[in-house]
Amino acid sequence: MADIFRDINEGLLEIFPDIGDMPMTTETRLGDIPDWDSMSAVNFQGFLEQRFGISVPQELLSEEVSIKDVISFVTEPAAMEKTT
């Protein structure tokens, strides 16, 4: 899980270089990221799909979703699809 968390943080830093000082935890919600919007969600979706080789539903990347939720989807996509 720590490796996935690190990879996700690196991806977020690529998309949002200005969040370098923002403390990121698994409880951080995507909506807590400054300038998070639908275009950011699309960019992050592309990053996740490329990095982890999975298809990510757009609704998984709403403002209320935490990094922990994203990690859960990356590790067990089928389980998360049942809840979305």
pLDDT in tens, 18-52: 887 889 999 999 999 988 999 999 999 999 999 99
Give residues with Cβ within 8 angstroms of 15, minimum separation 6.
40, 43, 44, 47
Give residues with Cβ within 8 angstroms of 29, minimum separation 6.
63, 64, 65, 66, 67
**In this structure, what CATH number is given to the domain that contains residue 43?**
1.10.1200.10
Which is nearest to 58 in space by CA: 44, 68, 76?
A: 44
Q: What's the predicted TM-score (pTM) here? A: 0.85
Quick one: tokens of 59?
A: 């609704």
Is the pLDDT at 16 greater than 80? The verdict is yes
* Count of structural domains, the chain: 1
Is the pLDDT at 84 greater than 70? The verdict is no
Which residues span the domain enclosing 10?
A: 2-81
Residues 78, 84: Cα–Cα separation, whole Å = 10
Residues 52-71 pLDDT 10s = 999 999 888 999 999 999 99
79 pLDDT tier (thresholds 50, 70, 90): low
State the pLDDT at residue 1. Answer: 77
